[in-house]
Amino acid sequence: MSGTTDSEVVVVTGASAGVGRATARAFAERGAKIGLLARGEDGLEGAREEVERAGGEAIAVPTDVADPDAVEAAAETVEDAFGSIDVWVNNAMVSVFSPAAEMTTDDYRRVTEVTYLGYVYGTQTALERMRPRDEGTIVQVGSALAYRGIPLQSAYCGAKHAIQGYTESVRTELLHDDCDVQLSMVQMPAMNTPQFEWTKTRLPRNPQPVPPIYQPEVAARAIVWAVDNGEDELWVGRSTVKAILGNRLIPRRLDDYLARGGYDSQQTDEPVDPDREHNLYEPVSGDFGAHGPFDDRARDRSYQLQASMHRRALALLAGLAVAVAGAVLGRRVSSADSN
C-alpha cells in the first residue's frame, strides 16, 4: 500500500477522549502511526494534534463502531494512509446510568451495539487483515465489570461480560489454528474520563466513577505494556483485583454489599442538570480531552500494575531473598551444631 513504512501502525477506537485519547498519545510517544476512530470530530481533531505533538502521525476517521461497514471503511482508510495495521485497540463505549426497571429497549440496544458489537466488528475487521500475515495484536479495553456486575449499569456490565466471553472464545480458535495473532483483554478500574460528563443518566445526582479513581494514563501504560508483552489478560489496579477475586470467592456477599452502597458510590452530591446533554446516539460537541472532572481525586499510578509489569523481576528477587535467607539459616544451624 502507498503509505507503508516500518513504523508501528495502530488503530484506536473511541480515540477522541478518555482512555482512547491517552492510549493514542502513549503510542505516539514511540513514533507510531495512528488511526483515530470516534464519532466526535472536535475530539478527533484534538487527539490528532496531540499525537503529532507527541511525535507520532495520525489520521482522524469519524466512525460509529456500531456500523460494521463504517468500521471496515475506516480500516481501509488507515491502511491506505499508513500501511498494514499492527495493533488494533477496541475502546469505544457508551453507557446509561439507570435502574434496570427504568431502562428502555432502545437504551439496551444502543449500548450493546456500541460497547459489545463495536468490539466484535473491530476484532473481525482486524483479524481479516492480521490472519493472512499471521501477526498483529488486538486489545480489548475491558473492566472489572466484565466479571462483577454493579447496580445502575446493567447495559454496560452486560456488554463487558459479553466482550469477555467473546474474547475467550476467539482466543481458543486462534490457538486451535496455531495463529500468532495476539488477542488481549485489559481489565480496568474506575477511570477519570469525560464519560461521566456526557453519559445518559436517570440518576438524581451526577454520576461518578466508583473510588478509587485512576487517571487514563494508567490505562494507556497498561495497554501498551500488554501489546509489548503478549499478555492474554491484564488486571489494572488493586480495586480490579479485589472485584474479580471477590466475585469468585464471595459473590453473594458482594451482591449484598453493592445493594447497600452501590447507588451512593456512583453519584456525587451535585444534582443532575436537567439540560445535561448525552452521547448515547450522537456525540456531544467540543473537545473534552483525556481527563474527566476528578483530577483532584484520581491516582496517576497503580502499584499493583507496576508489580504486574515487573513480576518476573520481583519473582527473581524473591527467589534470591529466599536463597540468601536459607544460606544464612544454614550457616547458623551449622554453627550451632559445631558448638
pLDDT in tens, 178-223: 999 999 999 999 999 999 999 999 999 999 999 999 999 999 999 9
Distance CA 310, CA 291 (A): 27
Confidence class for position 7, pLDDT limits 50, 70, 90:
confident
What pLDDT score does 339 carry?
60
Q: Is 154 exposed, middle or buried (0-12, 13-18, 19+ CB in 10 A)?
A: buried
Considering only residues 316 and 155, tell me which one the structure prediction assigns the higher pLDDT: 155
Q: What is the largest CA-CA distance in the chain?
A: 85
Kindly list the distances between the CA atom of residue 96 and the CA atoms of 80, 104, 105, 112, 150, in Å, as whole numbers in the listed order: 36, 10, 12, 11, 13
- Position 3 scores a pLDDT of 39
pLDDT at 314 over 50: no
- For the cut 60, the answer to whether the pLDDT of residue 64 exceeds it is yes
- What does the pLDDT read at residue 1? 37
**Does the pLDDT at position 70 exceed 60?**
yes
In angstroms, rounded to a whole number, what is the distance separating the alpha carbons of residues 220 and 73? 26
Beta strands 96-97 and 200-201, pairing class: parallel
Q: How far is CA 124 from CA 103, 135, 260, 261, in A?
A: 30, 14, 40, 39
Q: Calculate the CA 44 to chain-centre distance.
A: 18
Cα separation, 213 vs 170, in Å, equals 31
- Mean pLDDT, the chain, whole residue set: 93
Number of Cβ within 10 Å of residue 134's Cβ equals: 11
* 60 φ, ψ (degrees, to nearest 5): -95, 125
Q: What pLDDT was estimated at residue 309? A: 86
User: What percent of the chain is predicted at pLDDT more than 90?
Assistant: 86
Give the pLDDT score at 335.
Answer: 63
Between 322 and 22, residue with greater pLDDT:
22
pLDDT of 108 above 90: yes
Percent share of the chain, pLDDT over 70: 90
Please say whether the beta carbons of 23 and 223 come within 8 A: yes
Positions marked active-site? 156
- What confidence tier does 308 reach under pLDDT thresholds 50, 70, 90? confident
Residue 73 vs residues 34, 79, 125, 167: alpha-carbon distances, Å = 15, 10, 10, 23
The predicted-structure confidence for 258-279, as pLDDT tens digits, reads as follows 999 999 999 999 999 999 999 9
Q: Which residue has the higher pLDDT, 328 or 318?
A: 328
Predicted pLDDT of residue 118: 98
Tell me the average pLDDT across 130-145: 98
CA 36 from centroid of its chain's CA atoms: 15
Tens digit of each residue's pLDDT (9 = 90 or more) over 24-50: 999 999 999 999 999 999 999 999 999
Strands 137-141, 87-90: pairing is parallel
Let me know how many helices (H) and strands (E) the chain has, helices first: 12, 14
Residue 207: partners with Cβ closer than 8 Å, 6 or more residues away: 97, 196, 199, 201, 266, 267, 268
